[in-house]
Structure 1
Amino acid sequence: MLLRRLAPPLVLAALLIGLPVTAYADDYSAPLETAVSDLPVQTEVRTGYDRSKFNHWVDADGDGCSTRNEVLLEEADDPPTRSGTCTLSGGRWYSYYDRVSWYAPADIDIDHMVPLAEAWDSGARTWSAAERERYANDLGDYRTLVGVTDNVNQAKSDQDVREWLPAYDKCRYLREFVAVKHRWRLSVDSGEKSAMSTLAGTCTNTTITVTLAR
């Protein structure tokens, strides 16, 4: 199973041969309010978007489990039973968006914290197909993909922070949304940034740290 808190390859190599490890040059770290302020503002462009341009739920490591199932396996509070190639049954998952626990994989959607369409609008339209696939299956940071109640995810759809927030834990949601925007060097529009700034002002100014994916 792929791990979603992967250290950069050079750091892993240094650890293996006993070299001292310094801060990874491609990390971004700042308090929440600064992190919001640092997001570049660009006009969003939806032209040309199609969900199929983000090849998602691939089996990146060849173990038989799709990205969706990798997330389900990692986020389960009670692990599901795995059978066959990677069929999951049973288990328990907690959806922090609505603070509800579920006991069947089918009740959980894997939410792209920054929706695919929003990513397209914010810069992904200029990426290669390979980059969009990496984004849609990003297991390198636990904040990019999150298991949540299926109908809550459907209600969120492709909306940004200005347009939609979960019923609970809004500050956590904002921190994770901002982290993913920075990780993938995505922009925000002016209304989105204003909404983020307003919400950030009501939250603890916690430092956000991400390893940049591109």
Structure 2
Amino acid sequence: MTGRCRLTGAAWYSWYDDATITSARGIDIDHMVPLAEAHDSGGYPWTAQRRQAYANDLGDDRALAAVSARSNRRKADQDPTDWPPRKEARCTHAEHQVLTDVAAACPNRVITVQIGP
């Protein structure tokens, strides 16, 4: 026994690129709104404690997402006006500033905004 755990037999759906990932090495946990984007969109005066709370927000299932490592690395710190490229995925990935524009392109879809910590 090496003392290391290994996850086996799992699958994750990466809605960024409509792919099912079966290897834990193939996924990343992504911030729906990148930390740099949160900073640029009004989070710059946040305290270190509030930045940490935002970065590790487990209280909102929309804050962090398991997505393919490939798509997450292509995303970098793009905001929702540019990401994700798949139209169907954009309908669930929006920040307050662009919500109206994104929602207009997503008929029959309810989009809810909740201010993070």
TM range (shorter): 0.7 to 0.9
Gaps of 5+ in 2: none
The answer to whether structure 1 residue 89 and structure 2 residue 7 are counterparts is yes
- In structure 1, C-alpha distance between the alignment counterparts of 2:30 and 2:57, rounded to whole Å: 12
Q: 2:78 maps to what in 1?
A: 159
Q: 1:100: how far off?
A: 0.8
Q: Who is 1:138 aligned against?
A: 57
Instruction: Give the structure with higher Rg (CA).
Output: 1
Deviation of residue 169 (structure 1)?
2.7
* Per-residue Cα deviation, 1:125-173 (whole angstroms, up to 9, x for no partner): 2111111111110000000000001110111110112222232432122
Task: Compute the RMSD of aligned alpha carbons.
Answer: 2.3
Q: Secondary structure, in 3 states, of the residue corresponding to 2:38?
A: helix
**Structure 1 runs not aligned, ≥5 long:** 1-83, 182-187
SS of the residue 2:58 aligns to: coil
Runs (4+) off by over 6 Å: none
Q: Which has the higher contact order (CA 8 A, sep 6+)?
A: 1
Aligned to 1:105: 24
TM-score, length basis structure 2: 0.81
**For the residues of structure 2 that align with 1:102 and 1:205, how far apart are their CA atoms?**
26
* Structure 1 residue 107 displacement after superposition: 0.5
Normalised TM-score (structure 1): 0.47
Contact between 2:37 and 2:79, CA under 8 Å: does it hold in 1?
yes
